[in-house]
Amino acid sequence: MKLKVTSLLVDDQEKALKFYTEILGFVKKTEVPLGDHKWLTVVSNEERDGIEVLLEPMAFAPAAAYQKALFDAGIPLMAFNVDNIQSEYERLEKLGVVFSMKPTTMGPVTIAVFNDTCGNNIQIVQL
């Protein structure tokens, strides 16, 4: 078995694709139409053969309750590593991204949490 894809539930796939590519800098990898929705994945620009993130449509009501509860508690659904968290934080903030936690050092890591505008909190991490 191999780790190939992991998924994030998003309220709108087109909006999510725009945010994850234009704001965060990921690159679209696969787009396959599947009825009302599509199989839509992005990868890191620096690791284009790396693990794909599936921007999965929110089409299952109980999952919406789970997603909202995590969101309201400020809990990140996924974390991405960055080389320099302070400059990434400043870059994203200038682009209008809203942070619920500014860069905070906790032992060996510095982390920050932002709203992906699609229903999730995302954490960035510098080791």
Partner 1 sequence: MTFYQQQVLKFKNELYPHESLCQQVVQAKRFMDSQLDNNLTLDAIAQEASVSKFHFIRLFKKLYGQTPHQYLILVRIAKAKQLLRTNNSIKDVCFAVGFDSTSSFTGLFKKITGSTPTVYKNRQNLRS
81 is a site residue for partner 1 (CB under 8 A): no
Interface with partner 1 (CB under 8 A), residue from 75, 78, 95, 98: 75
Does the footprint of partner 1 cover residue 34 (CB under 8 A)?
A: no
Residue 86 binding partner 1, by CB under 8 A? no
73 near partner 1, rule: CB under 8 A? yes
Per-residue three-class SS string for 67-108: HHHHHHCCCCCEEEECCCHHHHHHHHHHCCCCEEEEEEEECC
Does residue 3 belong to the site contacting partner 1 (CB under 8 A)? no
Determine how many CB atoms are found less than 10 A away from the CB of residue 114: 23
Judged by CB, which is closer to partner 1: 62, or 108? 108
